[in-house]
């Protein structure tokens, strides 16, 4: 059965924003699975996502401490309708990322990562798809805050869409 996915990372709540944008909450509630690639900062967001998402897969980021480190793994591995998926916060420098990640996650079809706040979509030699949703709350030097949606369907990832959020008021 096809699964609707919402991918987020680097939310940094409440330091960078008081809450996720309404568009992101709508995507969370519409998704079958939400993947969060770390840097939550406050455990309250983890609690709220667990409450509102049908299924949540998350990892700890370098800015996460306390209860977040106790409750979340550094790497999460899940099967999403035949798409072997790994979620991690950091993957290192952009240069050489595909080869490095293909070697580190040889059994994965999809690697979701965060840390840079820079959206990323590439395919490594051997077919590993690498996705970074950017950040829905802290665009840093990017033109927009962003998140991703996709569909996992019978071993294929399809309909990958980068969503650009309007500027916050």
Q: How far is CA 117 from the centre of its chain?
A: 11
Distance CA 167, CA 169 (A): 6
User: Average pLDDT, stretch 37-48?
Assistant: 97
Pairing relationship of beta strands 146-153 and 75-80 according to DSSP bridges: unpaired
Residue 167 has pLDDT above 90, yes or no: no
Min mean pLDDT across 7-21, 40-54, 66-80 is at 7-21
Structure tokens at 82: 């035949």
pLDDT confidence bin for 57, thresholds 50/70/90: very high
Q: What domains sit in the chain, N to C, each tagged with a CATH number?
A: 3-164 (3.60.21.10)
Q: What is the mean pLDDT of the chain?
A: 96
What interhelical angle do 43-52 and 22-30 show, nearest 10? 50
Q: Which of 1, 57, 52 is nearest to 30 (CA)?
A: 52
- Assess contact for 139 and 11: CB atoms under 8 A: no
Residue 100 has pLDDT above 80, yes or no: yes
What is the per-residue pLDDT for 99?
97
pLDDT confidence bin for 168, thresholds 50/70/90: confident
């Amino acid at each position: 059965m096809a699964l609707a996915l919402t991918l987020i990372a680097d939310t940094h709540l409440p330091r960078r924003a008081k809450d996720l944008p309404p568009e992101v909450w709508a995507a969370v509630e519409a998704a079958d699975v939400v993947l969060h690639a770390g840097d939550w900062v406050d455990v309250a967001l983890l609690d709220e996502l667990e409450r509102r998402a049908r299924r949540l897969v998350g990892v700890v980021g370098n800015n996460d401490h306390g209860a977040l480190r106790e409750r979340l793994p550094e790497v999460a591995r899940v099967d999403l309708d035949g798409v072997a998926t790994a979620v991690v916060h950091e993957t290192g420098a952009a240069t050489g990322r595909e080869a490095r990640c293909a070697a580190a996650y040889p059994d994965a079809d999809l690697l979701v990562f965060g840390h840079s706040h820079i959206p990323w979509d590439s395919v490594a030699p051997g077919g590993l798809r690498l996705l970074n949703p950017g950040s829905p709350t802290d665009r840093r030097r990017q033109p927009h805050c962003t998140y991703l949606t996709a569909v996992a369907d019978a071993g294929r990832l399809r309909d990958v869409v980068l969503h650009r959020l309007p500027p916050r008021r």
